Structure 1
Amino acid sequence: MAPQCSRLVIGGAGVLALMLLVNPDLTATQLKEVLCLTADQIDKDNNDENGKWSTAQQVLTDGQLKALPLSLRNRPYGKWYGFGRVHALKAVRRAFDLRQT
């Protein structure tokens, strides 16, 4: 494992696998969007200037925003937590709901 990686990063792969199990047609962009839209905001009362919550639009650079779906730009975002803690059940349910009927 690379020094910058942690088990938190690896755990996300399991959630993605479950999402693809219920909806194998999801694109990489859709997977990213669902994970971010269903994440739980944590440590909401954090007032540290470096880690407090804002929006992705306010925190990320122009280059980072270009890679971000429009639906995520005004979502709560913090430098310390990104979009928050992955909520596996919500993410899998959303992936299931996006199936083509």
Structure 2
Amino acid sequence: MTTSLDGKVAVVTGAGRGLGRAEALELAKQGAAVVINDFAPEGSPNPADDVVAEIVAAGGKAAAHRGDVSDFDAAGKLIRLAIDTFGSIDIVVNNAGILRDRM
């Protein structure tokens, strides 16, 4: 069975939790290969890895990127990962946000 996004590649920022996670899972369900981005400090668990594992376990294609997309070099590495891993980028969901608990 062919789904609407077969052969497409999606990049979803802030996709380790919440809405970004839900968007990434749905894109994968529809057939897209998905690059999951989420920021986590070095040495700490990255929720992007869990989302990738979930997509792969369901038979999809995914890769994790740990990085802050507000940093130009990190964003460039995210794009390079998508192209090097899956060959192109067709969809970008910019879901990353800034959480300030002490506002």
Alignment TM-score, normalising by the size of structure 2? 0.26
The structure with higher relative contact order (CA 8 Å, sep 6+) is 1
Of Structure 1 and Structure 2, the greater strand share is in 2
